[in-house]
Structure 1
């Protein structure tokens, strides 16, 4: 399996363009994507699609990985992690994730996965979980564990800490968007919400050595 942090890097520019075409079709058609439609939109042959991605599930898997690869934490040195670097990494992850889940492409992907799983018992739900939610978790957990090793945060279970952080960041945003709420998140709002969620998380798990700003949490 492609590592979540390198999913985009292993693709050629042509392949990334194909996956962007898949995402565009999902937004337009509500998820009704066929290999023929993708080949037509991306101006390539179906033979190329099968060569690059295998079957339709392979194409959808690559599409989910490509979308999820946009969610990354900031750069940090695990051996010299300080409070400021930890806070910045968490904010960068939170902002990236909020921007991705609030995008029309992610909304379309999630709606289609839910509908396909419920109506036809398709594989997209499992693909989304494995290459989206779970892969993103594996990307952030090393940051949290590095913070624990540096004595900046304290927790017993990394998965619980990750889920707490994700809950603070996401709140009810994703479910509202999936249900059709015309919620619009501007870049400055995303940055503000990401910083607030990070400071709330550090208030819960911080050891007293966390970054400045913990006492400035916005309600």
Structure 2
């Protein structure tokens, strides 16, 4: 398992998923005290296995963040069956997954740790955890949604010049102030009905802004 590759659920064994879940739990509990030894102990596996699967601590951190981000499912694209209904359904599903992940306790705790250490190598975390979360969180989401946006433009359903700009607009419509409120300790809970409602609203607004 190479840290440079984006991790998907199908690319992992059940044992590796258990290890990454253990690493996520430790990041929530211990933050910058995460070590290969502590993960091996929590997951009841050998350090040798961790090094074999993830390379080193930086690789483990990257894989852990990618594992959390993989819960936002990609949108299947097919030129032969792509129309406005497919575009709407894909954007709504992507937005709903994103909201579920961002509002979960693990993501909130992980982002707090990442913000604390952004731009630093504090307490031996290795690579900048903020950079790892940025690259495998928002940037990875942009790469995952890009084919859908481009296909929507190709089909005449969307009009934009820069894919990055369109994605950032969609990001803002979906997330709004949710992430900053949770990071600052707002304890509101985003229920399933609210997630579906917000995903639908964000998609509708996005389609209005970028209609041909």
Q: Tell whether the structures are fold-level matches, with TM greater than 0.5.
A: yes
My pick for the range that moved more, 118-127 or 138-147, is 118-127
Matched residue, 2:162: 157
Separation in 2 of the partners of 1:75 and 1:55?
A: 33
Spell out, residue by residue over 1:40-69, the C-alpha distance to the aligned partner (whole angstroms, 9 max, x if none): 110111111111112111100000111111
Matched residue, 2:46: 45
Structural RMSD (CA): 1.6
Separation in 2 of the partners of 1:79 and 1:145?
A: 15
Q: How does 1:121-140 map to 2 (within 5 A)?
A: 122-140=127-145
- Structure 1 stretches of 4+ moved >4 Å: none
How big is the shift at 1:118?
Answer: 5.4
- The answer on whether the counterparts of 1:18 and 1:38 sit within 8 Å (CA) in structure 2 is yes
The verdict on how the C-alpha distance between 1:31 and 1:92 changes in structure 2, with shifts beyond 3 A counting, is farther
Separation in 1 of the partners of 2:206 and 2:21?
A: 34
SS in 2 for 1:95: helix
- The answer on whether the counterparts of 2:119 and 2:130 sit within 8 Å (CA) in structure 1 is no
Q: Which runs of 5+ in 1 are unaligned?
A: 208-219
Separation in 1 of the partners of 2:205 and 2:176?
A: 12
Matched residue, 1:108: 109
Separation in 2 of the partners of 1:79 and 1:157?
A: 24
How big is the shift at 1:205?
Answer: 0.8
2:148 matched to 1:143? yes
Q: Which runs of 5+ in 2 are unaligned?
A: none
The verdict on how the C-alpha distance between 1:137 and 1:29 changes in structure 2, with shifts beyond 3 A counting, is same
Separation in 1 of the partners of 2:169 and 2:79?
A: 22
How big is the shift at 1:28?
Answer: 2.3
Q: How does 1:1-219 map to 2 (within 5 A)?
A: 1-2=4-5, 4=6, 7-117=8-118, 120=121, 122-207=127-212
Q: What TM-score, normalized to structure 2? A: 0.91
- The answer on whether the counterparts of 1:31 and 1:108 sit within 8 Å (CA) in structure 2 is no
Separation in 2 of the partners of 1:136 and 1:31?
A: 25
How big is the shift at 1:119?
Answer: 5.6
- The answer on whether the counterparts of 2:75 and 2:145 sit within 8 Å (CA) in structure 1 is no
Q: What TM-score, normalized to structure 1? A: 0.88
SS in 2 for 1:206: coil
